[in-house]
Structure 1
Amino acid sequence: MRLVLAVAFLVGLGGISVADDNRIDIQRPDAPELAAPGPYDIGVRTLDLVREDVPNVLAGGTYDRPVTVEVWYPADLQGGAAGGDYVDVQMANSDQKITLHGQAVRDAAPLAEDGPYPLVILSHGFPGNRFLISHFGENLASKGFVVASIDHFESTYENQLGFASTLANRSPDQLFVLDAIASGEDFLDGMVDGENSAIIGYSMGGYGALISGGAGLAPAAGQMGMASPEALAGLMAGSDGYDEHLDPRVKAVVAIGPWGGQVGLWDEVGFAGIEIPLLVMGGSLDEVSNYETGIRRIFEGAVNSDRYLLTFQGAGHNAAAPMPPPVEASEGGPGSPFEHYADFVWDNARMNNIAQHFVTAFLGLHLKGDETMEPYLAVGSGSWNEPAGDRAWKGFGERTTRGLVWEILPIE
């Protein structure tokens, strides 16, 4: 009884969300307005795709690269089924499989009559899996998007291999999935507006999203010893391979804690290649991607983009993107499952809700052309390294902007 009361007390104070039983659809009472689910019921299906004849940067030769994708979409439930479970999900830093809970109904009939819907690709960190940032999947599908979340082979909890594969395959995986889902085959017939697509990437997913959005790598990237120059040649800014790689259907990018800026993977030429709207999110104490030399450098360097930066003051690398820690991740410490998901200061569900709010406004404006979303993005700014107190931001309740900094930079 004492343990139950203690857990309830923590949740009541906005602390660690361990009493929510592995839900990816948590809406806290202090969530900003646009975090709330939209009007659509949600379906979900798993697709097993294959990229054929991919260069094997780890072993040489070529191979057929499996790409498993979880797809969320507006569904026609006809008042029937209730939300379902995600079973046998691999937990980080563990051999344990867990069950997640949400609103989506497995294999539900798609609601094509209101389509086609803009497409959003989700791309996890290294390591991760297609469920790590799945809260975006359900949330956005309820608002009239088709959302596809990728298992990046050789970069998952079950299959974490050489880092060179992640560097070489992140962006190609993302654009392969865009092409596959945008084709509208099978149950997606009439559902997908592939011409209006976006990528949301976390950490190494953010690295890939930036490349997919126009930020070709600097020549120095191939000399750092993380991957061979040959493996990255087609991702270099200005190369023929990179120009062919880009997909004009990508109309916006969300990069959360993007990795790579702090080690110099991009130079001014690469950053300038981003010519679409960019939303960057990160914690001011990011210990992996480095806030000042990485995250801010990307935001400030994308001079040909209308861009936004949301900073969670005091948060680390787990800001905004990862779902709340599963109840099975009960023990902390370096390398623990708990610390893979959790931030030391901020509650995951709160950060998820804030991210859902701003992503809804950003994609609503830039993919759907919904100008009613613009005031939610035109909120007061501040300085990332000075205490952020109470501000009146559209969609936020009293005292709920504390610790948040929002910055806007137009095309220069």
Structure 2
Amino acid sequence: MNTNLRQFCLSAAIILGFAATADAADFAPAVAEYRAAHKEADRVLEGHVWYPSLSQEPERLLKGSAVWRNISGHLDARIAPGVFPVVMMSHGMYGNSMNQAWLAKRLAADGIIVVQPNHPGTTSFGRDPDQARQLWLRATDLSVSFDQLLTDPRFADHMDPTRVAAAGHSLGGYTVMAAAGARHDVAHFNQSCADDPARPDCAALEMWKVGHSPDDLEALQSDRSDPRLRTVIPLDLGGTQTFAPDSLAKIDIPVLVLGSGRQDMLDQTIESRALVANLQENLVTHVEVEDAGHFDFMGVCVEGGYELLKREEPGDEIVCVKGQDARIAQHDRIYDLIMTHLRATGVVAQH
């Protein structure tokens, strides 16, 4: 199909899709795997796509865990008819595409396609310092994934490239801000770390040797923005101090900044609050979710998960603090905030 004809058909499908799905009941949330490769770097991505389906088959297990509640969905089901908005989602440091599967699944049930790449070098199963060093590629991972899926016959004609958002947790928050146009400023960051080199973001970038060579410095400070984004949503982001304040001030799309009211992991003063202070006031919405901790943006822990981690991986048990019923309640609050924002920005059609 030629480009003009495809665009005509897509536009028609969008109009028809709005009419057909605006008042529809929740979809059956489906999930599939995808692969994508960077053209200009030796970097292959693997991840998951959550999407709306009309499957009536029982959900099947996607991933089991001794710590996290099982994740299930309609595996590889056919996507529902229509054209849907897209949310690209970025996991945190040493996380993976399962961390926000709870959120992706709920978005898919509401008629949204969610793209979740695993960022090489900073995943829970691939801690490669040399790949992690290429921090600038994290934002590009989102664009590369989206480009690939726009050619994927399963999804290409169902993705609306005019209604695209990005959300990311922790280091994923850094990632989506870079995708929105925030630029890394090495001098600014080094100055901020001078008095507190043990700060988590300072320690991580030094551990990975980020920006230690001239070539890396140039790439690190390059523009990694994706103009298709209509809004971004950092979830208790880490890495605000890496950004040049003037680049934050130039971001011209709405930003929903969700911070952790419990402030159990990251200092809100130098992270979410500092980010908000540098963004355009009329384009930013900031909520510190009451009593939410950093890990409430991740999945729900199983009963006994806290004790298991405390015994097997001392220190990691923090991820399961208030990690069951209280976390489910936080998920409801977080989801409502995100959906309200997506509707307000036009990514999701108003009902």
Residue identity in the other structure for 1:165: R
5 Å-filtered alignment, 1:2-401, equals 39-54=26-41, 64-77=42-55, 80-87=56-63, 100-102=70-72, 104-112=73-81, 114=82, 116-162=83-129, 164-165=132-133, 167-181=135-149, 183-220=150-187, 223=190, 225=206, 226-228=209-211, 230-236=215-221, 241-242=222-223, 245-261=224-240, 264-303=241-280, 306-319=283-296, 321-327=297-303, 329-331=305-307, 333=310, 335-343=314-322, 347-368=326-347, 370-371=349-350
Deviation at 1:254, TM superposition (A): 0.6
Residue identity in the other structure for 1:83: E
The normalised TM-score by structure 1 is 0.67
Change (3 A) 1:335 1:307: farther
Change (3 A) 1:330 1:313: closer
Aligned residues of 2:301 and 2:323 also touching (Cα < 8 A):
no
Separation (CA, whole Å) in 2 of partners of 1:350 and 1:278: 24
Structure 1 or 2: larger helix share? 2
The normalised TM-score by structure 2 is 0.78
Residue identity in the other structure for 1:363: L
Deviation at 1:130, TM superposition (A): 0.3
Q: SS of the residue aligned with 1:108?
A: coil
Structure 1, unaligned runs of 5 or more: 1-36, 55-63, 93-97, 373-412
Deviation at 1:154, TM superposition (A): 1.1
Could you report, residue by residue, the CA deviation over 1:108-138 in whole angstroms, capped at 9, with x for unpaired residues? 01113x2x11111111111111000111111
Deviation at 1:248, TM superposition (A): 1.2
Could you report, residue by residue, the CA deviation over 1:189-221 in whole angstroms, capped at 9, with x for unpaired residues? 311012221111000000010010121122426
Q: SS of the residue aligned with 1:120?
A: strand
Aligned residues of 2:165 and 2:232 also touching (Cα < 8 A):
yes
Match of 1:24 in 2: none
Could you report, residue by residue, the CA deviation over 1:250-286 in whole angstroms, capped at 9, with x for unpaired residues? 111010111112xx21232021122111111111343
Aligned residues of 1:197 and 1:367 also touching (Cα < 8 A):
no
Deviation at 1:291, TM superposition (A): 0.6
Q: How many residues align?
A: 306
Change (3 A) 1:154 1:290: same
Q: SS of the residue aligned with 1:190?
A: helix
Change (3 A) 1:282 1:343: farther
Could you report, residue by residue, the CA deviation over 1:347-399 in whole angstroms, capped at 9, with x for unpaired residues? 22111111111111111222436456xxxxxxxxxxxxxxxxxxxxxxxxxxx
Deviation at 1:99, TM superposition (A): 7.1
Deviation at 1:43, TM superposition (A): 1.6
Could you report, residue by residue, the CA deviation over 1:23-67 in whole angstroms, capped at 9, with x for unpaired residues? xxxxxxxxxxxxxx962122210112222442xxxxxxxxx3221
Residue identity in the other structure for 2:57: A
Could you report, residue by residue, the CA deviation over 1:287-315 in whole angstroms, capped at 9, with x for unpaired residues? 44311121101012111651111213444
Separation (CA, whole Å) in 2 of partners of 1:367 and 1:317: 28
Aligned residues of 2:164 and 2:347 also touching (Cα < 8 A):
no
Separation (CA, whole Å) in 2 of partners of 1:305 and 1:275: 10
What value does the CA root-mean-square deviation take over the aligned residues? 2.8
Could you report, residue by residue, the CA deviation over 1:130-166 in whole angstroms, capped at 9, with x for unpaired residues? 0001111111111111111121111111111328436
Aligned residues of 2:182 and 2:244 also touching (Cα < 8 A):
no
Deviation at 1:76, TM superposition (A): 2.7
Residue identity in the other structure for 1:227: V
Aligned residues of 1:315 and 1:344 also touching (Cα < 8 A):
no
Change (3 A) 1:221 1:171: farther
Q: SS of the residue aligned with 2:26?
A: coil
Q: SS of the residue aligned with 1:293?
A: coil
Aligned residues of 1:271 and 1:302 also touching (Cα < 8 A):
yes
Separation (CA, whole Å) in 2 of partners of 1:351 and 1:306: 25
Aligned residues of 2:134 and 2:210 also touching (Cα < 8 A):
no
Deviation at 1:107, TM superposition (A): 0.8
Residue identity in the other structure for 1:149: Q
Separation (CA, whole Å) in 2 of partners of 1:310 and 1:157: 28
Separation (CA, whole Å) in 2 of partners of 1:222 and 1:310: 25
Separation (CA, whole Å) in 2 of partners of 1:43 and 1:206: 25
Deviation at 1:178, TM superposition (A): 2.2
Change (3 A) 1:368 1:294: closer
Q: SS of the residue aligned with 2:234?
A: strand
Deviation at 1:171, TM superposition (A): 0.9
